[in-house]
Structure 1
Amino acid sequence: MNIFEALRESHQKQRELGEALLKTSGDSPERRDVFERYKNELFAHAVAEDRYFYIPLMMNDAGLNITRHALAEHHEMDELLEALTELEMSNSGWLNKAKKLVDTVLHHLDEEEHGFFQQAGKILSDKEKTSLAKQYIKEYDKYKKSDKDALV
């Protein structure tokens, strides 16, 4: 497995959880569960991706600008997650803010997969792509709670 395949696995989970979150309503156990799972997926992915994809790319001049842009988007998502965490789920504005988060995540994933990955593919060697995938998966697993844990 290479780094792009590893990242796409989490991207698919993010898409599914984001879609599921927008189908929830009110301060329900379902909304709480899906939101916690989504937050955890985004967190585990971002930590591992920053360390084992973006940082290595930043070491190359050709990867600097695209990496800065991606990290800025991660920061924007963190701020939206924090705002959602602080807002009561029963608040009428909660779902609108959740939609903004999901839209931001989807934009970021599409941008990565249809632009950034192609540029990164030219920068990283095949050996680096495989090595980074192993490191990414190990780090991702370290921060990823099981679905069972996310229900608590």
Structure 2
Amino acid sequence: MGAIRPVRIEDSKELLGIYNYYVVNSIVTFDLEPLTLREFEEKVRTIITSYPFIVFEEEGIILGYAYASKWRKKPAYNFTVESTVYVRQDAHGKQIGSKLYAELLRLLKQGSCHVVIGGLTLPNEASVKLHEKFGFEKVAHFKAVGLKFGRWLDVGFWQLQLDKETV
């Protein structure tokens, strides 16, 4: 069945294992070298001071995680966040990404978030479908902006406006 709960710093090692798999084996992240536990713990600490960070756990094993983070530094962007979702490589097909995204968006709606941005390395059909399932719309496509595994890669941005009202 599984459950979603807030992240804890002590989850970092398990989360790092999920993330570093994608660093080494895929184009979905533009990190080129695996992160260290210390780097990942610092990342978690930084995010949880301002944004939701959740995990999906089943029988004591973390199968995925999701969080929001700062979109850009200038203060006018304070109501826009970037979303991130990772599912353990051997846990796909169980709707874990959808469950995490639904909860992350619920938490963001409770706060002061106005817009959520999903940045995706392309091609990535599964992630495109996930974002569009939740109402995200493609708003940008940058061609050949990242180089990984000897390939130039595109990046697309999907946007979801959580509320249609102005402040």
TM-score under structure 2 normalisation?
0.27
Structure number with the higher helix fraction is: 1
Which has the higher relative contact order, 1 or 2, with Cα contacts under 8 A spaced 6 or more apart? Answer: 1
TM-score under structure 1 normalisation?
0.29
Structure number with the higher strand fraction is: 2
